[in-house]
Structure 1
Amino acid sequence: MYWHKVEPQGVKLKPIRAHVSVQAAGLIYIFGGCDNHACFNDLYIFDPESMGMTKPKVGGTVPPPSRAMTAIGLPSRKIVIFGGGDGPTYYNNDLYVLDTVTLRFSRPRLAPHSPVPSKRRAHTACFHKGAMYVFGGGDGDQALNDVWKLEVTDLNNPLTWKLISKNTSPSDKTKPPPRGYHTANMVNGKLIIFGGSDGVHCFSDVWVLDVETCIWKQVPLPGSSPLGWSGSNASGINDGVGKVGRLSHSATLVGSYLFVFGGHDGDFYANELVLLNLVTMKWDRRKVYGVAPSGRGYHGAVLLDSRLFFFGGFDGHNVFGDIYILDLGASSYYPQISHFSIEVDPEGILG
């Protein structure tokens, strides 16, 4: 694996953090986010073949400037954006859809009696079998650990939210403690949650939700603590099997691995790459060549054609507008392990 820094042709990406980055039809769409002064509602489109960047004009009902929202790509080449906010007190629970063909935004309709998730940001969203699954985040008063499902196959008709796992207190040991700035990945109907923070702890735990049975199970990783750590207690990875506390990191599914990059570990912003083997459920390291990005969190990460693309981020002081590629190269065997399962039985036992 090898790091490359990209100097895009055309428009330069402004320094941004807490934006969304989504792949659709071979292009990468980057929307929203903020710098140290303001939030934005700009759309950038990056072509990974030509390394060209554009900032097109968009139409329709454009979302307001916001950060820490989520976005998922649909097979229909539409992108669904949910939640986010601006400044210290503004949070929302709004839905927007970007048609990547017409470059127009719209607001899908909700059914008259549909429940609605609370306003939030720093949550996650994943797509599975025609539905979007939203987990956690924060509403300005507390961290959250609820799960909501929204069928998004037909965006022309009214949509209905469904609460499939309610919000509970940190004392509930049957599900992840409330958190935001974690990561979520969907693997064959299993939602994998890693890391995040409740404003006090930097979590190192991994949880799996079976979205069909709505049963949670914590993964017994070697050296992991359910509460992670904070401040000077952060010890990081130890020879590939220790615990890894992270918030505002990225976690990208590559075959049977999660590629976890950057984020804050309780002490500082990291620039290391670590892998979670989803077959053995153990942490791993691989040799990476080239010059890595500087330590950061709140960046965007997208996998496309055996390359991981990273956009922007923040190191506690500086907001970045750079673009890096992690070329999997000779390690492209990672995606070859794609047929595996993660099982959670009715007793919550991971198998």
Structure 2
Amino acid sequence: MDYFSIYAVFGVNDPPQRLTRAKERECYSIAVPSAVQQVVVFSNGRWGKRTDVKVELTDPDKSPITLGNLTPDRKCISWECWEGNAGSSGLMLTASLEGDSPVNEEFDGMADPHFVLSKKESTPKFSGVPASVREAQGKRKRGREEDQETGSRGQENVCPNSYPSQKSTPQRKVRGSARSNHKQFFTHSNEQADPDVPQGHKVKGKQARASTQTVSLSTPSGRWGQTLCPIDPQTAILIGGQGSRMQFCKDPMWKLCTEDLSWVPAETLAEGPTPEGRIGHTATFDPESRRIFVFGGSKNKKWFNDVHILDTRSWRWTMVEAQGKVPPLAYHSCSLFRGELFVLGGVFPRPHPKPDGCSDCLYIFNPEMAIWYQPIVNGDRPAPRSGHSACVLQGKIFVFGGWDTPVCFNDMHVLDLGLMEFSPVKTNGAPPSPRSWHGCAVLSDSKFLVHGGYNGNNALEDAFIFDTASSSWTTVVNPHFSAVPRAGHSIITMANAYTEESMEDGEQKMGLETCPQTLFIFGGGDNEGSFFSDLTTLLIDEILN
């Protein structure tokens, strides 16, 4: 059956309502409540051959008001009226297909196709967010997937710890307390987890120059396996992640404004086909082209090797039809160097010819040519792994940690991008314990941070700095890192804001040289059933000093 329907939201506080479809015709309609001044219309289901749906407000005594056209690339439109028909009654909202398209619509067994969605099915109400962006969570129905068994092994993305209800603020476990094995949500190789989502979490206590944003209805839902990608000193883009009840987040894309630490739903801000919900993918920003490259990841039994590009200047998604071959991968690393993407390691989908299920290969994507290729690499490459970290410093990619069942790593390898040669790094100082799904961020020209992660039994809470100049590890002591154990979280560094310098002609120029850098930590889970949507900020100078 071809499920396709049109919904409308009348005002900020009302749930979506489904338009009634005329029998044997693709013409939908619904009566508009009186005194409505704001309407949001969106589609739900498979478009198939449909290409254009015209949406109008009709009045028996007046000419119709055209609100716009729904298309496969523009599945939501909004209309506001502060005068004219705002107070009139008898208006009808109609949506009609322009052009022929055979349809066999399914109404999910409901006798009356005109109904109001229940709270369980409707888009969550975002207090203070305009109705025109609320469709970000409702335009694509991300329903339950086929495989939702709990506690089974050998299946992709299965969470042995599925909670039937939302949890409140997580409480840190006392060291030495019993941790039952059935509460582990992090598993490896084709068994990646579906964490449950708490509605709220915050780190208690006030610390100098540090702030924590608590969860509210205007922030992303709790998740892990997402990406947080900075695109300028004031903006970062959150993509994907896995949410409550083993479902992928229905709010998969957000924009973080670092000036006031506010979140804005962003799925409808960009045109074009958005990437399907996923975890274990990578999102890499190229500052020269101003584009975000999203690659790979997994969703239950579906694994990806597609490349989606978001142009942050035009705010449009495109999917690349690339030449060359790259296998479907999840929990790989992706590093940008001289305009090319270097993808290393990752988990293969199951079944796979390799018994370990992990990759030790390096693939390069050239965006200009839209081609994948494998370079000739010399030296001692890292063992196959996933959930590792990789960062670029001084023309080299430093690879740390990861997992390949049943081994968890804490070794360091470096890839010289000039020589294309791998070599192990002999480090000084006490290194981090073996871990995967940790957070990693570059702090300076010669230092990067490793925080948290998962060691096969527990989520971790410690933090370390690696100095590439001395090849030494240093333990970081900071209460915000050790507030709660977490893994599968995102860590990024950004400048606080642009600085303004006066010029003789009266104009302002922007500079980054004097901007203090800030570290942002978002999301993840503690392997005890709690998953976070908190946002913690720390000044990098305080971490390094």
Normalising by structure 1, we get a TM-score of 0.69
Taking the aligned partners of 1:112 and 1:255, their CA distance within structure 2 comes to 34
Taking the aligned partners of 1:162 and 1:193, their CA distance within structure 2 comes to 20
Taking the aligned partners of 2:368 and 2:383, their CA distance within structure 1 comes to 29
Taking the aligned partners of 1:282 and 1:127, their CA distance within structure 2 comes to 25
SS of match in other structure, 1:165: coil
**Pick aligned residue for 2:370 from 208, 211, 214:** 214
Q: How does 1:178-327 map to 2 (within 5 A)?
A: 178-200=328-350, 201-222=357-378, 241-305=380-444, 306-327=446-467
Letter in 1 for 2:334: A
The structure number with the bigger radius of gyration is 2
- Name the % identity: 26
- Segment of structure 1 superposing worse, 247-256 or 100-109: 100-109
The equivalent residue for 2:324 is 174
Taking the aligned partners of 2:195 and 2:296, their CA distance within structure 1 comes to 26
Taking the aligned partners of 2:202 and 2:337, their CA distance within structure 1 comes to 29
How far has the Cα of 1:327 moved from its partner? 2.2
CA deviation profile, 1:187-230 (whole Å, cap 9, x unmatched): 121011000012442000000011111011012334xxxxxxxx
Taking the aligned partners of 1:269 and 1:53, their CA distance within structure 2 comes to 32
How far has the Cα of 1:185 moved from its partner? 0.9
Taking the aligned partners of 1:112 and 1:187, their CA distance within structure 2 comes to 26
The equivalent residue for 1:161 is 317
- Segment of structure 1 superposing worse, 95-104 or 194-203: 194-203
2:258 is equivalent to residue 100 of structure 1: yes
The answer to whether the 8 Å contact 2:195/2:246 transfers is no
How far has the Cα of 1:43 moved from its partner? 7.5
CA deviation profile, 1:148-169 (whole Å, cap 9, x unmatched): 0001246xxxx32100137xxx
Letter in 1 for 2:375: V
Normalising by structure 2, we get a TM-score of 0.46
The equivalent residue for 1:86 is 243
Taking the aligned partners of 1:313 and 1:303, their CA distance within structure 2 comes to 17
Letter in 1 for 2:275: P
**Pick aligned residue for 1:147 from 307, 312, 318:** 307
CA deviation profile, 1:1-56 (whole Å, cap 9, x unmatched): xxxxxxxxxxxx979999xxxxxxxxxxxxxxxx9974467588xxxxx9975423
How far has the Cα of 1:318 moved from its partner? 0.9
RCO comparison, higher one (Cα < 8 Å, 6+) = 1
The answer to whether the 8 Å contact 2:194/2:247 transfers is no
Taking the aligned partners of 1:42 and 1:216, their CA distance within structure 2 comes to 41
**Pick aligned residue for 1:65 from 208, 215, 222:** 222
Taking the aligned partners of 1:329 and 1:113, their CA distance within structure 2 comes to 44
Unaligned runs of 5+ in 1: 1-12, 19-34, 45-49, 167-172, 223-239, 333-351
Taking the aligned partners of 2:214 and 2:311, their CA distance within structure 1 comes to 29
Letter in 1 for 2:258: T
Taking the aligned partners of 2:349 and 2:245, their CA distance within structure 1 comes to 14
**Pick aligned residue for 1:328 from 468, 483, 493:** 468
The answer to whether the 8 Å contact 2:381/2:413 transfers is no
The equivalent residue for 1:346 is none
Taking the aligned partners of 2:413 and 2:364, their CA distance within structure 1 comes to 19
Measured on the aligned residues, the alpha-carbon RMSD in Å equals 3.2
